[in-house]
Chains A and B, each alone.
Chain A
């Protein structure tokens, strides 16, 4: 993004001519991400890799100094399908514990590890987490629906803020809330509600394009953030936990902050020339996102070896915030600029 920074501030650089060209970069990236996710889905029958908390199984965190490679070999003789990693002390680098994950139940996993490593697993040397396979699946579906609802509600709020057709605002709100309410009172099941909400989301996106392009730009850039991050998370081979899915929800919140700031400066204020307003928004937005990335990086540094839950949330936030820089300052600002030029907003 530093390149983009110098380009924007360079006096000779004319944003009026290049913004449409710049839009190509995120468009291509978004398309590639979508294609990648489609291929990934074809292969894995799902758009993410799930960890134990979503697919079911047992996680044993064992406080031991045993060498990880040695432990791996020993456990391999007892268990076919398992994964192992280690937790170490931040300052000394000393190993604190081994984390062993298996898709089996608590007792089977425990016994296998006990006989492989020739030790007793007690409450003093371990911590155990188990998720039943059916609960994991239900959990996953509910979180997905949660993301869809969150996304739809976010769209409505943005439309209320930047749109100007009150009738349409009310219609879209009612349409979006209807399946949620019907589902809440048990009139329809989760799958049906999810399908309805997706259809309504697509329909309302169409309405946003037609009547309030700035609202659509905000929603599109949040969507692009999530899609690109998801593709990268899959490429990196990260197994998502329930907490990881929360990170995507957090991303919506972070992403929308800068987008709303940009849009409101560009279309609600008239004190300077449009390009200057976008530039001032860019300065503010960069500060916002960079402080967030730095804060999360620092937090990740401290928790990385300690808590897989927190480090996954932080990793996804860093990925997502980086993509957000691109999507806010190329995608969203490009569309806003286009919109303002058409509407004659200077």
Chain B
């Protein structure tokens, strides 16, 4: 059998795809656990440990998998609970020596055996498609929304988030948020709880937060942002917090204008008649007295106070910390001038996801085997049947290789796309096989040429029918369009010409 350049091309692409899927050295041979997330306040984080690091040993004892890691950590922390101890984590690049009293605040998992990313519907998590209520957002507005949302979610310390802009055929823009491992209620809360903030004197808005209004917000600095005191009340406990905010000049000017119209409070002559009301999500969150000294003055330094309560002192403390954090975040990132609406919410539990992947794999293998049997019955020749099986499998490998190369998330529609490619692929190989066997009058070259003509004509029609799908429905079916386009394109350019060449050389 002659190996032509087309066959060589197929072999090279196949090898590259396998490398892309398994990487070099192969990931399934790698030992250790991979760090999925590191708590930002932890000592591991401050020492420089980051997501993606691979831990290969704990206290100099090798760790091969998640089980080993859990066991080593349990051994290190099962005695003298609460006491500080030394823990050494060896990663591939460096060594971290931690002095901690609790297990390190990181999450780890087994090293995945491939570089393939599976979509949310196969992996578990929540996904929401979000738009502004009663308003179409322009490209710039949606970009702003995305960066604000990203800032917020970052300050809440969430991991494994993907936020992106999607638009549909009608040009409507949406924000797509995906959080692996999150619950739908968590995600809904995060989105709906977007913290619309306004500081008003009377009916007049003085500032709304964000860079334009607020030049600096003190946080993580106990000299200007702290919990001041906790005290018992009817429901349990309540804790007061306060922090400093520096206003921009324009916001200070507005403050001066608004206060200049006010009068001095007759019952409380130290202060003005109206207060500075801070609204969070359209509700008064706290009201600050305005000292009479500040009337008409362009003051840039203000102090914001508030409180959080709980049944125990501990709970009140943590609630008031959360409240302070939320308010600080809203002041820094600014509030959105519209309400957000979730137009589509999907979630899937990882449990179902796991069984799912298995079932789909089983289905794919069974389908390919069934097709090979039919082909064998029809042609009664082992060589072409095996070749067809090989070509179909190599088409799957190339799709997966490219998917991993472009970091494509394989979701359910993508899998339907792979099935479509295999289906049309088998069809076209049958065309090539049959064209090469009939019309013995013409030369083999001509026969194969006509077969490839049919293959290309069919390719362009299928491609034409897939393009609209890329945009329809906010791109939620993009997975189908992308995998099918990748699949059929690589197939007509690489695998099917190579298949034709091999058939040709067998035939001659």
Could you list which residues of chain A lie within 8 angstroms of chain B, going by C-beta atoms?
61, 63, 90, 96-97, 106, 122-132, 134-135, 138-139, 141-143, 145-147, 149-151, 153-154, 156-158, 161, 186, 189-190, 242-243, 246, 249-250, 252-254, 256-258, 260-261, 264, 268-269, 271-272, 280, 283-284, 287-292, 294-296, 298-299, 301-303, 306-307, 309-310, 313
Contact A186 B465 (CB under 8 A): no
Report yes or no: B477 in contact with A253, Cβ–Cβ below 8 A.
Answer: no
Looking at chain A's contact residues, is the secondary structure mostly helix, strand, loop, or mixed? helix
12 chain-A/chain-B pairs, Cβ below 8 angstroms: A131-B344, A142-B169, A146-B468, A153-B467, A154-B461, A189-B170, A280-B438, A283-B434, A288-B431, A290-B374, A294-B374, A295-B371
- CA separation between A287 and B168, bound complex, in Å? 39
Q: Given A122-B183, A291-B371, A150 and B464 touching (CB < 8 A)?
A: yes
CB of B81 within 8 Å of the partner chain = no
* Residues of chain A within 8 A of B360, CB atoms compared: 302-303, 310
Interface contact A128-B458, CB-CB below 8 Å: no
Given the known inter-chain contacts A128-B184, A271-B441, please indicate yes or no for A150 contacting B468, CB distance below 8 A. Answer: yes
Task: Say yes or no: A260-B458 contact (C-beta < 8 A), given A291-B374, A292-B423.
Answer: yes
Interface residues of B in 457-484 (CB under 8 A from A): 457-458, 460-462, 464-469, 471-474, 476-477, 480
Chain B residues positioned under 8 Å from A149 (CB to CB): 467-468
Contacts of B346 in A (CB 8 A): 128-130
Tell me if B's interface is mostly helix, strand, loop or mixed.
helix
Determine which of B168, B356, B423, B450 lies in contact with A138 in the assembled complex, contact meaning CB atoms within 8 Å.
B168
| Closest A-B pairs by Cβ, 8 of them | A153-B464, A150-B465, A302-B363, A146-B468, A123-B183, A132-B343, A253-B462, A130-B345
* Interface residue tally on B, bucketed by range: 35 or more
* Residue from B370, B415, B471 with most neighbouring chain A CB atoms (10 Å): B370
Interface pair B426/A146, CB less than 8 Å apart = no
Inter-chain CA distance A258–B462, complex, in Å, is 12
Q: Which one of A143, A258, A264, A284 contacts B472 once the chains associate, using CB atoms below 8 Å? A: A143
A298–B365 Cα distance when bound, in Å, is: 10
Q: A23 CB to closest chain B CB, in angstroms?
A: 24
Task: Tell me, yes or no, whether B439 is within 8 Å of chain A by CB.
Answer: yes
Query: CA–CA, A250 to B424, complex, Å?
Result: 10
Contacts A261-B431, A283-B434 given; indicate if A61 touches B352 (C-beta within 8 A): yes
In the complex, A313→B363 CA distance in Å?
Answer: 14
Contacts of A61 in B (CB 8 A): 348, 352
Given the known interface contacts A122-B183, A142-B472, A302-B366, the answer about A284 and B461 at a Cβ–Cβ threshold of 8 Å is no
Given known A146-B169, A288-B427, contact A256–B348 (CB-CB < 8 A): no
**With A and B bound together, what is the CA distance between A129 and B378 in angstroms?**
44
Q: Please determine whether B422 and A252 come into contact, CB atoms closer than 8 angstroms.
A: no
Q: A249-B469, A299-B364 given as contacts; is B457 within 8 A of A260 (CB)?
A: yes
Give A281's nearest chain B residue, CB to CB: B434
- Chain B residue numbers with a CB within 8 Å of A310 are 360, 412, 415-416
Which residues from A are CB-within-8-Å of B464?
Answer: 150, 153-154, 156-157
Residue interface bits B352-394, CB-to-A below 8 A is 1, else 0 = 1001100110111011101100110010000000000000000
Closest-CB distance, A120 to chain B (whole angstroms) = 12
Q: How far is the CA of A294 from the CA of B371 in the complex (A)?
A: 7
Partner of A294, one of B183, B363, B370: B370
Q: CB distance A295 to B423 under 8 Å? A: yes
Q: Roughly how many angstroms separate A129 CA and B348 CA in the complex, as a whole number? A: 8
B341 at the interface (CB under 8 A from A): yes
Please tell me if B250 contacts chain A, counting CB pairs below 8 Å.
Answer: no
Q: Which residues of chain A have C-beta atoms less than 8 A from B420's C-beta? A: 250, 253
CA distance A307 to B419 in the complex (A): 15
User: Which B residues lie at the A interface, using CB under 8 A?
Assistant: 129, 168-172, 182-184, 188, 341-349, 351-352, 355-356, 359-360, 362-364, 366-368, 370-371, 374-375, 378, 412-413, 415-416, 419-420, 422-424, 426-428, 430-431, 434-435, 438-439, 441-442, 450, 453-454, 457-458, 460-462, 464-469, 471-474, 476-477, 480
What is the distance, in angstroms, from A233's C-beta to the closest C-beta of chain B? 17
Chain B residue with Cβ nearest A276: B438
Please determine whether A106 and B184 come into contact, CB atoms closer than 8 angstroms.
yes
The docked-state distance in angstroms from the alpha carbon of A175 to that of B281 is: 51
B191 to chain A, nearest CB (A): 12
A258 to B430 Cα, complex, angstroms: 11
Q: How far is the CB of A3 from chain B (nearest CB, A)?
A: 20
Residues of B within 8 A of A242 (CB): 473, 476-477
- The answer to whether B461 touches A157, judged by C-beta atoms less than 8 angstroms apart, is yes
Instruction: Assess whether A129 is in contact with B345, with CB atoms less than 8 Å apart.
Output: yes
Smallest CB separation, A313 vs chain B (Å)? 5
Q: Which residues of B contact A146 (CB under 8 A)?
A: 169, 468-469, 472
| Residue from B413, B426, B472 having most chain A Cβ neighbours under 10 A | B472
Residues B129 and A135 in contact, CB atoms below 8 Å apart: yes
Smallest Cβ distance from A18 to chain B, in angstroms? 24
Are the CB atoms of A307 and B412 closer together than 8 Å? yes
Contact across chains for A158 and B473 when beta carbons are under 8 A apart: no
**Contact between B465 and A252 (Cβ–Cβ < 8 Å)?**
yes
Residues of A contacting B427 with CB < 8 Å? Answer: 254, 257-258, 288-289, 291-292
What's the Cα separation between A261 and B469 when bound, in Å? Answer: 26
Q: Is the CB of B378 within 8 A of A287?
A: yes
Docked pose: A199 CA to B299 CA in angstroms: 67
Q: A264-B454, A280-B438, A288-B426 are in contact. List 11 more A-B contacts (CB 8 A).
A: A130-B342, A139-B168, A139-B474, A145-B169, A189-B170, A256-B461, A296-B423, A303-B359, A303-B363, A307-B356, A310-B412
Residue of B nearest to A154 (CB): B461
Minimum distance in angstroms from B392 CB to a CB of chain A? 10
Decide: A246 and B351 in contact? CB cutoff 8 A.
Answer: no
Interchain nearest-CB distance for A295 vs B (Å): 4
Q: Which residues of A contact B469 (CB under 8 A)?
A: 146, 150, 246, 249
A299-B419 in contact (CB<8A): yes
Residues of A close to B471: CB separation below 8 A? 142
Interfacial chain B residues near A106, Cβ < 8 Å: 184, 188, 345
Q: Kindly state the separation between the CA atoms of A246 and B480 in the bound complex, as whole angstroms.
A: 9
- B170-A142 in contact (CB<8A): yes
Cβ–Cβ contact B468 & A298, under 8 A: no
> B422 near A268 (CB under 8 angstroms)?
no
> In the complex, how many angstroms separate the beta carbon of B329 from the nearest chain A beta carbon?
25
The complex places the Cα of A256 from the Cα of B455 at a distance, in Å, of 11
Residues of B within 8 A of A126 (CB): 347, 349
CA distance in complex: A229, B467 (Å): 23
Q: How far is the CB of A321 from chain B (nearest CB, A)?
A: 9
- Using A242-B473, A295-B371 as known contacts, say yes or no to A131 and B343 having CB atoms under 8 A apart: yes
Task: Report chain B residues within 8 Å CB of A63.
Answer: 349, 351-352
Give bound CA distance, A90 to B363, whole Å.
11
Taking the closest CB of chain A, its distance from the CB of B422, in whole angstroms, is 7
Determine the chain A residues whose CB is within 8 A of the CB of B434 once the complex forms. 280, 283-284, 287
Chain B residues with CB under 8 A of A135: 129, 343-344, 474
Closest-by-CB residue of A relative to B168 is: A142
CB-CB < 8 A to A139: which residues of B? Answer: 168, 472-474
Q: How far is the CA of A129 from the CA of B476 in the complex (A)?
A: 13
Contact partners of A254 in chain B: CB under 8 A: 423-424, 427
Known: A142-B168, A292-B423. A134 touches B472 (CB 8 A): no
Q: Which residues of A contact B472 (CB under 8 A)?
A: 139, 142-143, 145-146
Give the complex CA separation of A304 and B399 in angstroms: 25
A135 to chain B, nearest CB (A): 4
A153, A253, A299: the one contacting B424 at CB < 8 Å is A253
Contacts of A291 in B (CB 8 A): 371, 374-375, 426-427, 430
